[in-house]
Amino acid sequence: FMLRAILSADLNVAKHTPLAGSSYMSLPDFLHRKQCIINVENKDSRCFGYSILAALLQVDHHHHPHRAAQYDQYFAQYGLDKLDYPVKIEDLQDVEQEIDIPFNVFTFYDDEGKGRKPLYTSRIGDPQKVIDLLF
């Protein structure tokens, strides 16, 4: 075969926005109703740090575990004060090594949460003690 001419060409351009955790976002209704996720209501970009602390500290539900003030004093203790926020997906392996806390990050791609997929899987520690986070 031989190409003689190109009669037309289409170029589609889209803005690329890399995935990164940020500040508080409310949960979709189907997840909120399950009452199985602590969604810390932070006003800064340290959502990742709050999520790690919520899992580690397991604040009693009577003490409002969704309030950011419950966790602020612990950032330095767990090395979370040294991270660059918001944490980017491509930085998760380095972050895990730096804080030495194993975690997985999941997302879902349907409106019922049944289409769950991993964005990052822990590379360290005991698989039974890994923290699961939702992006």
Cis bond upstream, residue 86 (ω within 30): yes
Q: What is the pLDDT at residue 18? A: 52
Q: What is the pLDDT at residue 16? A: 52
CA pair distance 96, 48, nearest whole angstrom: 12
Query: What is the Cβ-side half-sphere exposure of residue 51, based on CA atoms within 13 angstroms?
Result: 26
Beta strand ranges found along the chain (DSSP E): 103-108, 116-120, 131-134
Residue 61 pLDDT greater than 80, yes or no: no
pTM above the 0.85 mark?
no
Residue type, 52: I
Sheet-wide strand order for 103-108: 116-120, 103-108, 131-134
